[in-house]
Amino acid sequence: MRGALIFPALLLAAAAPAQEAPPSPVPQATDEGLAFLMERARMTVPVQIAGTGPHRFIIDTGAQRTVISRELASELGLPRGRDVRLVAMTGRANVGTVLISSLSVSSFAGAKIEAPALERRHMGANGILGIDTLQGHAVAIDFDTETMRVSPSTKRARRKRAGAPGEIVIQARSLFGQLVVTDADFRGTKVRVILDTGTEVSMGNEALRRRVARSHKGMRDIELISVIGGKLVAGYTQVPQVKIGAVTFENLPIAFSASAPFKEWGLETKPALLLGMDALRMFRRVNIDFANREVRLTMPRGSGFASRATLPATRPQG
């Protein structure tokens, strides 16, 4: 069995249906890019598997590997692979894999993939596109037009490029394939931030909770479900101010937990944050360039930012 694979994706348990919901319409390609659908707070895009499909997969910039639902794998008759150790927000589990001969999305086609197979109801879609398929590419998400592009990216000279009007450019570093933004802080305390499009709610670790608790009280419990079906009770609150690059979030909703992925990343004792879709959807566009370790955020119209901006916070439903 190979080393553990990290999957921090989470769903709000309060909003999860008791039974599997009917499948949503499959998003289609458009002239502007690949149209996506919102599954609750997350994006799904059409994926072709071995010439079949399209099938709805979630784009997850926090997941190390691409995952497929057991139901779809069975329907397609995919051959079994090896067992792997999976680390989710609610713990660890041994899971079986299946062999996907080819997978294509947007403008690229991937080679053979050994994908962990999980239950569809815990993912909210037929699968998850992880960073194994996104390395060497840029993911451009346009919330205005509800389209996205996944395109090859060429590594350029390591220098910060100026952003377009209304755009903020943030440099990141690589940690187990994930892009980690280190230019972030909470009231002077450095925070490591991972952009995670597969998680409904932004998640902070215990080290960050301790910093927040010194000056902010009043957390309430919420229940979350991981990709392996485990439940997690997390302390939830709105953090007064978090700065990421040149962006300042006011009253950012964050759930806190001593979850296994933070330990696997070596971030157990360092304040760290998974910035989920509840925060990313505040922007007009989000561009995550894995080849150049760069994040570009386009501010909302009328935000009136200069070197920094204050964004309104949203609260999850349920």
Q: 313 in helix, strand or coil?
A: coil
126 and 185, same domain (yes or no): no
Residue 141 lies in a domain: no
Residue 47 lies in a domain: yes
Name the residue range of residue 106's domain. Answer: 5-134
- How many domains is the chain partitioned into structurally? 2
25 and 69, same domain (yes or no): yes
Residue 223 lies in a domain: yes
64 and 196, same domain (yes or no): no
For the chain, what is the mean pLDDT?
Answer: 77
Which residues on neighbouring strands pair with residue 105, listed in sequence order? Answer: 108
Residues 287 and 225: beta-carbon distance below 8 Å: no
Residue 70 lies in a domain: yes
Cα angle: 112, vertex 117, 123; to 5 degrees: 115
Is a pLDDT exceeding 80 seen at residue 157? Answer: no
Residue 316 lies in a domain: no
Distance CA 226, CA 90 (A): 6
204 and 124, same domain (yes or no): no
181 and 291, same domain (yes or no): yes
Residue after which a domain boundary falls, among 134, 157, 182: 134
Residue 279 has φ and ψ, to the nearest 5°, of: -90, -40
Rg from Cα positions in the chain: 19
172 and 303, same domain (yes or no): yes
Residue after which a domain boundary falls, among 93, 118, 134: 134
What the block records as the tokens of 152 is: 């090859």
pLDDT digits (tens, 9 = 90+) for 69-92: 999 999 999 999 999 888 887 778
185 and 299, same domain (yes or no): yes
What is the pTM assigned to this prediction? 0.77
What the block records as the tokens of 166 is: 């209304």
Please report, for the domain that includes residue 257, its CATH number.
2.40.70.10
Distance CA 228, CA 92 (A): 9
Span of 24-33, 47-56, 109-118, 199-208 with lowest mean pLDDT: 24-33
Confidence band for 68, pLDDT divided at 50, 70 and 90:
very high
Task: Kindly report the number of other CB atoms within 10 A of residue 190's CB atom.
Answer: 12
Residue 44 lies in a domain: yes
294 and 230, same domain (yes or no): yes
Task: Tell which residue, 275, 61, 30, has the closest CA to residue 177.
Answer: 61
Task: Tell which residue, 2, 6, 255, 7, has the closest CA to residue 122.
Answer: 7
Q: Is 238 exposed, middle or buried (0-12, 13-18, 19+ CB in 10 A)?
A: middle
Residue 317 lies in a domain: no
Distance CA 39, CA 146 (A): 13
171 and 287, same domain (yes or no): yes
For the four alpha carbons of 73, 35, 310 and 192, in that order, the dihedral sign comes to: positive
pLDDT value, residue 72: 94
Residue after which a domain boundary falls, among 112, 134, 156: 134
Cα angle: 135, vertex 138, 143; to 5 degrees: 130
31 and 76, same domain (yes or no): yes
Q: In terms of pLDDT, which residue wins out, 287 or 311?
A: 287
Distance CA 68, CA 62 (A): 16
194 and 293, same domain (yes or no): yes
pLDDT digits (tens, 9 = 90+) for 15-57: 333 333 333 333 333 334 444 444 445 677 888 898 887 898 8
181 and 304, same domain (yes or no): yes
